[in-house]
Amino acid sequence: MQLPAIIHTISDVLVSQKAKAIIVGGSVRDHFLNLPIKDYDIEVYGLESLEVLRDILATYGTVNLVGKHFGVLKFSYEDEVYDFSFPRTETKVAKGHGGFDVITDGSLCFEDAAKRRDFTINAMGYDVQNKVFLDPFGGKVDLDAKCLRHIDDKTFVEDPLRVYRAVQFAGRFDFEVSPKTALLCKQMVEQDTLSELPKERIFEEFKKLLLKAKKPSIGFELMREWGVLLKYFPELQNIIGIPQSPKWHPEGDVWVHTMMCVDEMAHICRLDNTITSTQQKLKFLFAILCHDLGKAIATTVDKNGRIRAIGHEYKGIEPTKSLMYRLSNEHDFIASLLPLVEHHLKPSQFYAAKSKDAAIRRLATKVNIEELVLLAKADFLGRSTPEALTKKYYAGQWLLDKAKALNVNKNPPKPLIQGRDLIALGYKPSPKFKKILDEIYTLQLEGKINSKEEALTYIRIVDKNK
């Protein structure tokens, strides 16, 4: 296993003090999965106290004590941060993910310390000095079999967050959850232990699933199977079984379509180099997850069997808010999803109608058109129509080209005049300002006024004729 040189240096010092460093957790798992390793967690065995470890690390870099209770030190060296810790045991003493009494003990053996971990694939270690892998629970066998298996029945159920961790790991690595682990997860849901979790911790697991899985639908399907949606996320549960017109959605109900869309959006986020920030990716992924929630409210079937969901896009705003506020209190982030949900049909509708420039300018005042086209593309491709299978979204490209030509693809048109221009014309500040500015902006969006000079001339003529 390739390790930064500083880890070997510290390992040598530890050996001189009859101690040893063992790489633990996700970095060992990711080594075997041939994934890039971003973080190294190192457990130190054989030292008497955390203070001794702190003094050793301080010789080479800066050290921050995260919490003596958890026995974790953040070690910074050449712009990299490493977590050094003592092995520990955990005893459940209260409800929730954090309700554990933690005891650090440098004399523990690796197997006893690793037993507290959730899954076998996360309980492997690498002895730095001896260059050997430690695998007391068969994690490597499970990795090879693409199986997610818990370690211990008793300790697994003590932490309800592990249900969501099972979901996101299965989604990220496309692993099957072992039947016994799946059964425990179902039982934890039925016993309502997941209600003990703070929404912030759940949100983090959702984000990992959406950002890191090639097919996030794998994780969402597990939440459906285990009853997580039924018990905790009714907005998603409610779209299961909602029918759609087979002409536009031969793939199945709203849930099936939504899962296909989420996978398409994850694919787009990986490949589109215009989507640069994690926050932007999350906006697209949560927006596409929510884009058809309104169909649970709006869908009707007439006497001839015709299925329609008129107005589902704006009827989806409230269930989107409801779902997202179950996960987070990040008001600005949640607000940023709503225009994408409300207007997700516009690219296809505008293309079919060959909408005029004025309509496109007005749309730009309500939503970022570039972002909207990306979302609508995932919506269009997340189905099994012949058109979708071509992987070409002509409606989106048409709207994007039109918006770029009008210079409104990223932002709405800037108002041609402002209040200071009215003052320069001799107007005194008053409530009348807004009425005048709104009228000019409307004419600007309609293409009837195209320059500041035209706007000022219009105001003078109107004022003169009054």
Sign of CA pseudo-dihedral 360, 362, 365, 367: negative
| Over residues 434-454, mean pLDDT | 94
User: How far is Cα 398 from Cα 246, in angstroms, rounded to an integer?
Assistant: 26
Task: For residue 17, count CB atoms less than 10 angstroms from its CB and return exposed for 0-12, middle for 13-18, buried for 19 or more.
Answer: middle
Count of beta carbons in the 10 Å neighbourhood of residue 258: 25
Alpha-carbon dihedral of residues 291, 297, 298, 302, nearest 10 degrees? Answer: 140
Instruction: Dump pLDDT digits (tens) for 292-318.
Output: 999 999 999 999 999 999 999 999 999
pLDDT at 419 over 60: yes
Note the pTM of the prediction, 2 decimals.
0.92
CATH 1.10.110.30 domain extents, the chain: 146-231
Please state whether 96 falls in left (phi above 0), alpha (psi between -120 and 50) or beta.
Answer: left
What's the topology of domain 5-145? Beta Polymerase; domain 2 (3.30.460)
Mean pLDDT of the chain: 93
pLDDT confidence tier of residue 95, bands split at 50, 70 and 90: low
Percentage of residues of the chain with pLDDT beyond 70: 95
Token digits of residue 74: 């953040």
Query: Which residues, listed in sequence order, are joined to residue 125 by a DSSP beta bridge?
Result: 24, 134
Question: What pLDDT score does 265 carry?
Answer: 98
Instruction: Dump pLDDT digits (tens) for 4-17.
Output: 999 999 999 999 99
Question: What pLDDT score does 94 carry?
Answer: 58
Q: Cβ neighbours of residue 80 under 8 Å, at least 6 residues apart? A: 4, 6
Q: Helix H segments across 248-393?
A: 254-271, 278-290, 295-298, 312-315, 317-327, 331-342, 346-353, 357-364, 369-381, 386-389
pLDDT at 75 over 70: yes
What's the topology of domain 233-412? Hypothetical protein af1432 (1.10.3210)
Instruction: Dump pLDDT digits (tens) for 96-153.
Output: 555 556 666 777 889 999 998 999 999 999 999 999 999 999 999 999 999 999 999 9
Question: What pLDDT score does 70 carry?
Answer: 66
Question: What pLDDT score does 108 carry?
Answer: 86
Question: What pLDDT score does 184 carry?
Answer: 97
What's the topology of domain 146-231? Hydrophobic Seed Protein (1.10.110)
pLDDT at 366 over 90: yes
CATH 3.30.460.10 domain extents, the chain: 5-145
pLDDT at 66 over 80: no
CATH 1.10.3210 domain extents, the chain: 233-412
Question: What pLDDT score does 67 carry?
Answer: 61
Instruction: Dump pLDDT digits (tens) for 262-298.
Output: 999 999 999 998 898 999 999 999 999 999 999 999 9
pLDDT at 19 over 70: yes
> Among all chains, which residue has been given the structure tokens 């169909």?
295
Provide the pairing of β-strand 72-77 with 62-67.
antiparallel
Of 73-77, 88-92, 128-132, 455-459, the one with minimum mean pLDDT is: 88-92
User: HSE-up of 402 (CA within 13 Å, CB side)?
Assistant: 22
Alpha-carbon dihedral of residues 450, 454, 456, 458, nearest 10 degrees? Answer: -110
Task: For residue 309, count CB atoms less than 10 angstroms from its CB and return exposed for 0-12, middle for 13-18, buried for 19 or more.
Answer: buried
3-state secondary structure 51-113: HHHHHHHHCCCEEEEEECCCCEEEEEECCEEEEEECCEEEEECCCCCCCEEEEECCCCCHHHH
φ, ψ for residue 358 (rounded to 5)?
-60, -40
| Over residues 442-453, mean pLDDT | 95
User: How far is Cα 137 from Cα 151, in angstroms, rounded to an integer?
Assistant: 7
| Over residues 356-365, mean pLDDT | 97
Report the amino acid identity of residue 450. Answer: N
